[in-house]
Structure 1
């Protein structure tokens, strides 16, 4: 309660906490390549969220306006400055941010579920495998059956990196097009 003598609301406290973590997200040096800037932002946000899981609940909400968050936004926008019109740049940043926010939230949700149930991913698969096998054996889910039987298992970091590459490739294609 003593804290509320300095901070008016819980939301203000959250804003201060999120801004403090943005200091961890801001790279020490600004790379020259826009792709690298966005990749570093995504990777550093993921790493910061893995250290501070509570951040996952606050990602993607209203903008944080503290000095560290504004510095991250400035560095991001500066890296894309001049590559396209401002609206295209803003959509590109929003798209990349939406990807990494969703991917990070999913990863943190998986970690929380693992702790809550006490089941690792492998333990969960073993426990629910018989049910999934019975459902797939009905023939009603051929695409899912193929994914389960033939798909490659990748860890969260590899999945994150692959998805980010795909999103960055899509943004690059959009930035390469002349404005309509």
Structure 2
């Protein structure tokens, strides 16, 4: 099958509601932002657009292609981070814009880490990231570049999924992480008094609740420092 990226748009039809892949993707993103991927279907998108479901199949053949279009539309936002003269500034800008996009579109984090995204905007972001990392002092050959990209992507995927999961949990339970820990205060006090978990006790008692953005940036810098060296 020819990928959706290489199939031409269907010819415009004399219909009350004009369609395009971009319009379908934008509607799907709006629904996914509001209700999550589990509630997303071509039938619901068609209803939102005011057309029959079968019309959508002229533009996307299945849900997988729809997700491809949605993901690439988000990568289009990330691609706007652009290139900077310095390799490190480029990587930082792309990573921070990726985090912002994932927080705006929480479902996006659910689709990271599987098979690579190969839409035109995803490839543009990948090219900019790889080209920048190839200029890092610690990257000397293609093997180094592969390892550097792997380390960066592993950090981004893990960090974004954790932050999005915490946000979802706080909404679902009505309790954020500090409040959750406080609710378990008596239990934790008894456990820590046993002396079996001294390091965890220090983290809970003496540690502060770190700002998510500051933590992301600090750890991202640590990863880039490791790549450099």
Q: Residues 116-170 of structure 1, C-alpha deviation per residue, up to 9 Å, x if partnerless?
A: 1111223212211221121111111011111122223211111111111110100
Q: Which has the higher contact order (CA 8 A, sep 6+)?
A: 1
1:81-100 matches, within 5 Å, as 81=134, 83-100=139-156
2:188 is aligned with 1:115:
no
2:81 is aligned with 1:25:
no
**Counterpart contact for 2:79–2:121, Cα < 8 Å:** yes
Match of 2:193 among 111, 119, 137: 137
Cα distance in 2 for residues equivalent to 1:121 and 1:147: 14
Cα distance in 1 for residues equivalent to 2:63 and 2:80: 28
Cα distance in 2 for residues equivalent to 1:28 and 1:168: 18
**Is the deviation greater in 160-169 or in 4-13?**
4-13
2:180 is aligned with 1:151:
no
Q: Which structure is larger by alpha-carbon Rg, 1 or 2?
A: 2
Greater share of residues in helix: 1
1:176 counterpart residue number: none
**Counterpart contact for 1:27–1:40, Cα < 8 Å:** no
**Is there any run of 5+ residues in structure 2 with no aligned partner, and where?**
1-42, 44-52
Q: Residues 70-92 of structure 1, C-alpha deviation per residue, up to 9 Å, x if partnerless?
A: 11011112223355211211210
TM-score normalised over the length of structure 2: 0.71
Q: Structure 1 residues 162, 35: CA separation in 2 closer, same or farther (over 3 Å shift)?
A: same
**Counterpart contact for 1:22–1:69, Cα < 8 Å:** yes
Match of 1:47 among 81, 100, 112: 100
Q: Structure 1 residues 167, 28: CA separation in 2 closer, same or farther (over 3 Å shift)?
A: closer
Cα distance in 2 for residues equivalent to 1:112 and 1:121: 11
Cα distance in 1 for residues equivalent to 2:207 and 2:100: 27
**Counterpart contact for 2:103–2:164, Cα < 8 Å:** yes
Count of aligned positions: 173
Match of 1:37 among 76, 90, 95: 90
**CA shift for structure 1 position 105:** 0.3
TM-score normalised over the length of structure 1: 0.90
**Is there any run of 5+ residues in structure 1 with no aligned partner, and where?**
174-180
Cα distance in 1 for residues equivalent to 2:176 and 2:203: 21
